[in-house]
Amino acid sequence: MPDAFAYEILAAFEASGGARVGRLTTPHGAVETPAFIPVGTKAAVKGVMPQALREIGVQILLANTYHLALRPGADVVRDLGGLHAMMAWDGPILTDSGGFQVFSLAALRRVTDEGVTFRSPIDGAEMTLTPESAVAIQNDLGADILMALDVCPPHPCPREEVEEAVRRTLAWAERSRAAHHRPDQSLWGITQGGVERDLRERCARELVAMDFPGYAIGGTSVGEGHDLLRRVLDWTMPLLPWDRPRYVMGVGEVRDVVAAIALGADLFDCVLPTRNGRNGCAFTANGVIRLRNEAFRCDRRPIEEECDCPACRSFSRGTLRHLFASSEMLGPILLSMHNLRFYTRLFERLRNAIREGRFDAEARGLLDAYYQNG
């Protein structure tokens, strides 16, 4: 790892595999893993102040290279003091490379061996991301952890397209490494391969040979579902170095998170808590509740008795339902905070279980309660 970074395994459910607790040290502080990363795509976690993020236990944030290069521009972010200044966040920040937009903006892009050309949804202008420019943009953004540009194929996808995505991802990883020189930023590689075992294994082995300081599993949560995701993790995770951080990209569904942690994953990001919060859905230990429902009209209980978030400390389910029914912006803000606190509490619970050697039992009880209604 670069001099300013370190990764240390503090506890493991199994000696050389499986769930572990670690500490990832960056120039802007340490992250205790496993950890959840809230998504601040455009340099803001929608509706939640940075101080509130700290208070509810968030350790690290994510922002997106493509969207910030589009607006306001990487040079503007740099001139404003970088992402830490813009986001008023003094903790670690990770930036995605723009590779996910190869999947999510498929109608607006063209992929060649050189890079990806996008047509701006704002004004129609073209913007090309290459492995070199994606690194340069992330240098300007000033994040602690950078991701190499990759090609994220959808699911389902013809095998030949997945094979082409792996070929380009590996070639771009080499070019990204050659372009990256800043010791105060850590560049990580991303494995791809869809749901093709041999391609997943090839990509992982060849990336590991490049000796990145951290590795991500990409091309997940693109429509493959839990069972196929589990297979991808089973194939890929054992091939990634035990002494390096492992990041499962875009995964936030509780059963998926627990399965990945059981196999040794350290970091996760997902829009699920904030997106669902903005739409009136609250995560609880007993599953998701939809607070727009009439059943909560006069419900004086908090979302969860055990939760210490601002929503649960001060507002009833009935009040929250009213805020959504009245289109008051406070409702989405409070539910976003609650859902993020649900995730930080979930990860705290799982870290403690790993430390105490009871991860399997804790995971079974947690999943049974969360999915008790299907």
Q: How far is CA 235 from CA 100, 154, 168, 191, 344, in A?
A: 21, 19, 21, 11, 28
123 is catalytic: no
Does residue 234 sit in the same domain as residue 305? no
**pLDDT of residue 374 exceeding 80:** no
* Pairing status of strand 93-96 against strand 61-64: parallel
**This model's pTM is above 0.75:** yes
> Domain for residue 93, yes or no?
yes
> Domain for residue 100, yes or no?
yes
**Overall number of domains in the chain:** 2
> Domain for residue 20, yes or no?
no
256 is catalytic: no
Q: In percent, how much of the chain has pLDDT > 90?
A: 90
Amino acid identity, position 367: L
Using DSSP, state whether 104 is helix, strand or coil: helix
> Domain for residue 310, yes or no?
yes
> Domain for residue 10, yes or no?
no
**Residue 132, number of CB atoms within 10 A of its CB:** 17
Which one is catalytic: 227, 234, 269, 368?
269
Does residue 98 sit in the same domain as residue 211? yes
What per-residue confidence (pLDDT) applies to 107? 75
* pLDDT tens-digit map of 271-299: 999 999 999 999 999 999 999 999 999 99
Does residue 340 sit in the same domain as residue 232? no
The owner of tokens 């994040």 is 143
Does residue 171 sit in the same domain as residue 250? yes
Among 228, 243, 270, the domain boundary falls at: 270
> Domain for residue 202, yes or no?
yes
Does residue 239 sit in the same domain as residue 348? no
Mean pLDDT on 89-104: 87
**pLDDT of residue 132 exceeding 90:** yes
Mean pLDDT on 197-213: 98
Does residue 45 sit in the same domain as residue 115? yes
Residue 103 pLDDT level (bands cut at 50, 70, 90): low
> Domain for residue 240, yes or no?
yes
Does residue 203 sit in the same domain as residue 132? yes
Quote the domain boundaries for residue 313: 280-370
Among 270, 299, 324, the domain boundary falls at: 270
Does residue 200 sit in the same domain as residue 320? no
**pLDDT of residue 217 exceeding 70:** yes
Query: Could you tell me how many residues make up the chain?
Result: 374
> Domain for residue 28, yes or no?
no
Does residue 85 sit in the same domain as residue 143? yes
**pLDDT of residue 83 exceeding 70:** yes
* pLDDT tens-digit map of 293-330: 999 999 999 999 999 999 999 999 999 999 999 999 99
Omega cis (within 30) before 34:
yes
Among 230, 248, 270, the domain boundary falls at: 270
Output the six-digit token pair for 209: 């040979």
Q: Which residues are CB-contacts of 9 (< 8 A; sequence separation ≥ 6)?
A: 20, 21, 22, 242, 243
Checking phi first, is residue 357 left (phi over 0); if not, alpha (psi -120 to 50) or beta? left
Residue 16 pLDDT level (bands cut at 50, 70, 90): low
Mean pLDDT on 212-226: 95
Does residue 38 sit in the same domain as residue 160? yes
Concatenated DSSP letters of 354-371: HHTT-HHHHHHHHHHHHT
Concatenated DSSP letters of 269-324: EESHHHHHHHTTEEEETTEEEETTSGGGTT--S-S-TT--SHHHHH--HHHHHHHH
For the chain, helix (H) and strand (E) counts, in that order, are: 15, 16
Q: Is the dihedral angle over the CA atoms 254, 256, 260, 262 positive or is it negative? A: positive
Does residue 257 sit in the same domain as residue 288? no
**pLDDT of residue 108 exceeding 80:** no
Does residue 62 sit in the same domain as residue 166? yes
Which one is catalytic: 79, 96, 227, 256?
96
